[in-house]
Amino acid sequence: MSRHFALVPAAGLGARFGGSTPKQYLPLHGRPLLWHAVAVLARHPRVERVFVVLHPKDEHFARQPWGELAKVEGLRLGGETRADSVRNGLGAMSSVTNDDWVLVHDAVRPCLTAAMLDRLLAEVGDDDAGGLLAVPLADTLKRADAQARVLATEPREGRWRAQTPQMFRRGVLLAALNAAREATDEASAVEAIGLKPKLVMGSDLNLKVTWPEDLLLAEMVLRAVRPASSPPADDV
């Protein structure tokens, strides 16, 4: 039977946040943001291992409290883009076959729950096109010009906001990323080789921390869905 693994690209420097600490290591609800992003994956019984793709000069990963998340393994081969990091990570996963499933999850998406992960695994099942968590677009969508003035109102019917994890067989995803090197997410690369990934209902709570205010929202979500945890003394 095909097995399930997770891959978390975490080689970014978090330039939009400023400061010397990459945003995936900023403190959030008693732990680093990255810790929350991988915790549900590492604790899920169907996920055999979680590979975290790091910047080659990452100085923070080794200082994190990974002992309680024994499935987590760092790979110091991050690339210039997300696609490069995922591609490099897939190539380094020597114990993973091309038929095994890989769940790619954002390093700065800390509010994933076991229920969301269960739903993704169940609904994708053995569908070779794979799938991803996503939510239907609820807001009115505007197209802007270079001066930030409205050019048009776009239809929102049938449009979804992609989230992660995004789940594909390793061989399919590696071939897709090699063919579509400018893809902004794994699903768009798989789409480019002619497959139609399944959209699985995610949640607005599964937010991505992009701007400083997102960190405040994530803190509120985690307070509601997870008990507080006290980091070890060497936590950053």
Task: State the pLDDT at residue 19.
Answer: 62
Cis peptide bond prior to 165, omega within 30° of 0: yes
pTM, entire model: 0.91
Question: What stretches in the chain show pLDDT beneath 70?
Answer: 13-19, 227-236
* Burial of 21 per CB tally in 10 Å (0-12, 13-18, 19+): middle
Contact between 100 and 130 under an 8 Å Cβ cutoff? The reply is no
Q: What is the structure's pLDDT at 110? A: 97
pLDDT of residue 230: 44
- Report pLDDT for 74: 96
Task: Specify the CATH number of the domain 4-225.
Answer: 3.90.550.10
* Domain boundaries along the sequence of the chain: 4-225
Q: What is the C-alpha separation between 201 and 45, in angstroms, rounded?
A: 21
pLDDT tens, residue by residue, 45-83: 999 999 999 999 999 999 988 888 999 999 999 999 999
- CB distance 197 to 103 below 8 Å: no
